[in-house]
Amino acid sequence: MPKKNNIPQPKKNKGKSFSSQEAIDYDDRPPIFSLERLMPGHYCFSNLEQKDKAAFAESIFKRRNIPWKEIKNLPRHGLGIEKISK
């Protein structure tokens, strides 16, 4: 007959010197947009004409409450996404 293990099991996501939080599923959340990392160049935001800047703002506004998992399933010419190579 095997001996019973009396060693207490550590709590999940917690150790002596660390603890972790559950991972956030961002697919269930709407996107958060930032223009902080835009770089100057040919396709820079500041080089756009006023009508293109307005179209950009409108497209962000339309997506503000749609979770990522829905955006990923929408057609790319609608409110969906399109992967652009670097």
Residue 70: CB atoms within 10 Å: 15
The answer to whether position 59 is within a domain reads yes
The answer to whether position 11 is within a domain reads no
Contacts of 74 by beta carbon, 8 Å cutoff, 6+ apart? 66, 80, 81
The answer to whether position 15 is within a domain reads no
Q: What confidence tens digit (pLDDT) does each residue in 18-57 have?
A: 667 788 889 999 999 888 888 888 878 888 999 999 999 9
Number of domains in the chain: 1
Q: What confidence tens digit (pLDDT) does each residue in 55-85 have?
A: 999 999 999 999 999 998 888 888 888 877 8
The answer to whether position 47 is within a domain reads yes
Contacts of 22 by beta carbon, 8 Å cutoff, 6+ apart? 13
pTM exceeds 0.75: no
CB 71 within 8 A of CB 80: yes
The answer to whether position 3 is within a domain reads no
pLDDT of residue 29: 94
pLDDT of residue 83: 79
